[in-house]
Chain A
Amino acid sequence: MELIDLALIWALIIGFGIIMYVLMDGFDLGQGILFPFAPDEDARDVMMNSVAPVWDGNETWLILGGAGLLAAFPLVYSVFLPALYIGVFLMLTGLIFRGIAFEFRFKARTSKYLWNWAFAGGSILASFAQGVVVGNYIQGFAVENGVFVGGPFDWLTPFTVLTGLGLLAGYALLGSTWLIMKSEGYIQDWAYKITLPLLGAVLAVFVIISIWTPFVNPAVWDRWFSNIQIIWVLPAMTAFFAWVLFRSVQKRQDGMPFVATMGIFVFTFLGLVASKWPYVVPPDYTIYDASSAWESQLFLLLGLLFVIPIVLAYTAWTYWVFRGKVKAGVGYH
């Protein structure tokens, strides 16, 4: 009956969903991470206005990630969430505060600073928690008979804290390069100024993670230093985009830094997947072990092939509607 390798197709779709989420929500979470450091209140207004019309759509990719995993790889859903129980709670709390800050900050006056903190704190908490998930994926889970059997704080280790900080820096970088594209004047100058130090931080974390990972998980070491040399293309591409980013910031090209940062993210993500493939619940379960019923994967796939292009089309359309620079002093009320 299994005529097509649906598990593989689904792995590609989920991978696409995750990368969409990381890129899109990444730049708006990045605004929140950079919020406390912004030069002034006007700059904060511009930062928030630049993402206000699209953040909800961006976050919907996260929900698709959750629901899509439940549909296609239920084992991932039912192991990751219990294993990361407290971490998930913290992430959701962060997303709640940051979500309502959009609505309330511009209505507030004397209490505005409270919503600034809600937006910044929420974004930082959510980003850090997502980075921790990445660390856990590299680290692996204590699973027996398809059920998580570890303790409540297994998710929090020095290694996962490092990946948490790494993603924080990464999202901040997406945020600053997005802001370069969407702002002008002194706000843009500031965004240019912070971009290279952020890039430095991101690269530093990459290097530490790369050295550390083999100690956390020897299988990854094998993957990189045994037979298949072709995967070294991936870190090479990451380095290439880092260089493009560096050059374009120096030349002050408005749009290029953001594109280059997206490139860094895409190839880092592919590198991560290549380290683990085909395991989705490391160390023991592959995409085939984690799959839902073939009929269920097919039923959803047929619909998605039809609906996702439409979603992408109208998403692109809203970005087009809200294209261009966001001007300081243009109100959101």
Chain B
Amino acid sequence: MELDPLLLSRIQFGFVVSFHAIFPVFTIGLASYIAVLEGLFFKTRNPVWEKLARFWTQVFAVVFGMGVVTGIVMAFQFGTNWSNFSQASANFLGPVLSYEVVTAFFLEATFLGVLLFGRNKVPRGVHLFAAVMVAVGTFISSFWILSANSWMQTPAGVEFRDGAVFVTSWMEALFNPSFPYRFAHMVMASFLTGGFVVAGVSAWYLLRKREVEANRKALSMCLWMLLFFAPAQAWVGDLHGLNTLEYQPVKVSAMEGLWETDTNVPLLLFAIPDQANQTNHLEIGIPNLASFILTHDWAGQVPGMNEVAVEEQPPVGIVFWSFRIMVSIGLLMIAFALAGLVLRRGGRFAETPWFLKGLTYMSITPFIAVVAGWFVTEVGRYPWLVWGEMTLAEGLTPSLTGGMALFTLIGYVLVYALVFAAGVYYLMRIFQVGMEDTHTGDHIDEPHSAKRPWSGADVTLEAGGR
């Protein structure tokens, strides 16, 4: 069988970047949360805030570590598998990615050291400052990388000459048409991820009546935040979709599962898209709703897949279903945020078992929604790498053979499986041990009573090793 380096590279890139993405979305949200907790502790000196800050910093360290090691892989993937694309787009992507390194990565990495190891080495104000800098770094990082990605979706501010990109306006290229929507949507996704994980873990503790005071405070904070961000995310998502309709209409056709341009288009709740026959099976939909959402007119006209040649159509099934998964989770999040508001009367939000249990399960949904969202965005871009300008096939490394690509694909899958298993296992241990021991949140302490400090109250990797 002939191995196709293009297909294997796509699978590999999709895999490593999706795997990377789940860590940043969590750390971006969590970094801000930790900065807020440190700030509250700094102002009020209430030890509850410090307890929470130490606990979540410990979680943060593990997730951030996984974000860093998987991110380093990303920095080289462009060159190893997409060298023609790197070469062609370097005039724009090179400076953008370099700016990300010097304005964000150094900031995060350096102040992370102080945040994790410096609690006893620097004044409290400086420690707070380090926490804030780490959080700021994560946003700066998102800014640059999402600008790069958005530019690939909706290129602007450049001209294509002799097979390469030349920047004519940095402002237009950086703030390209889809960038504001993607940045807002992604930042909110990060807050929702941080919020639902913290809420879920706090709920889990409350169900077990552990550290009730601290976890109640944490849950209450999260619920207020989610009440704002969950609906706002749906609103921004809608604007994002309208923007996509303008610049990448065929992607919207795929999201809606619409084969022929039409008016009075229904919103499909269920369908099995059939690319070969250019049709759907088993459609269930709400009449006219898609037309209304996309054109704000019940009879509005929506473009279908037939607007482009069959070879230029993205795989509809993946886009269609990923989109539904994301939106359903978004709606579920809104439902939980509203339920939290209703249960506030009499403080029942911290006591109602079904609600707490539900929140515990909700803590994995943001990760699913984020990966699904990226699948919509990226698979929906097929066959383009740079929309309308360069296809995936043109961007591929010419010397890459199927065998090489397969080797590294298998390698990354194995390595990441190991990293992921160890990381999840260790996070579970942190959650089980909990925040009862105030010392567990810090990385380096002066020698306290025990001669070998980790033989004391600290979390160990093996179950029962405490």
B is bound to A: yes
Please tell me if B298 contacts chain A, counting CB pairs below 8 Å: no
When distances are taken between beta carbons in the complex, the residues of chain B under 8 Å from A53 are 113-114, 116-118, 444
Name the interface size band of chain A.
Answer: 35 or more
When distances are taken between beta carbons in the complex, the residues of chain B under 8 Å from A99 are 65, 68-69, 72
| Cα A83 to Cα B408 with chains together (Å) | 14
| Cα A57 to Cα B363 with chains together (Å) | 31
Please tell me if A333 contacts chain B, counting CB pairs below 8 Å: yes
Question: In angstroms, how far is the closest chain A Cβ from the Cβ of B441?
Answer: 10
Question: In angstroms, how far is the closest chain B Cβ from the Cβ of A145?
Answer: 10
Q: Contacts A71-B95, A147-B398: A57 and B72 contacting too (C-beta < 8 A)?
A: no
Q: A314 and B68: CB pair below 8 A?
A: no
Please tell me if B292 contacts chain A, counting CB pairs below 8 Å: no
Q: B101 and A63: CB pair below 8 A?
A: yes
Please tell me if B312 contacts chain A, counting CB pairs below 8 Å: no
When distances are taken between beta carbons in the complex, the residues of chain A under 8 Å from B92 are 296
When distances are taken between beta carbons in the complex, the residues of chain A under 8 Å from B407 are 86, 89
Number of A-B contacts (CB under 8 A): 262
* Residues of A138-174 whose CB lies within 8 A of B: 146-150, 152
Partner of A52, one of B79, B91, B443: B443
Q: B61 and A303: CB pair below 8 A?
A: no
Q: A111 and B461: CB pair below 8 A?
A: yes
Question: In angstroms, how far is the closest chain A Cβ from the Cβ of B97?
Answer: 4
| Cα A327 to Cα B80 with chains together (Å) | 42
Chain A residue at minimal CB-CB distance from B408 = A89
When distances are taken between beta carbons in the complex, the residues of chain A under 8 Å from B446 are 330
When distances are taken between beta carbons in the complex, the residues of chain A under 8 Å from B451 are 329
Q: B79 and A70: CB pair below 8 A?
A: yes
A residues engaging B (CB < 8 A)?
Answer: 49, 52-54, 56-57, 59-60, 62-64, 66-68, 70-72, 74-75, 77-83, 85-86, 88-89, 92-93, 95-97, 99-100, 102-104, 106-111, 146-150, 152, 292-293, 295-296, 299-300, 303-304, 307-308, 311, 314-315, 318, 321-322, 327, 329-333
B residues engaging A (CB < 8 A)?
Answer: 61-62, 65-66, 68-73, 75-76, 78-80, 83-84, 86-87, 90-95, 97-103, 105-107, 109-114, 116-118, 121-122, 164, 166-167, 170, 397-401, 403-404, 407-408, 411-412, 415, 419, 422-423, 426, 429, 440, 442-447, 451-454, 458-462, 465
> Told that A88-B80, A95-B69, A333-B459 touch, could you supply 8 new A-B pairs with CB distance under 8 A?
A53-B118, A66-B75, A68-B98, A68-B101, A72-B94, A150-B399, A296-B95, A321-B114
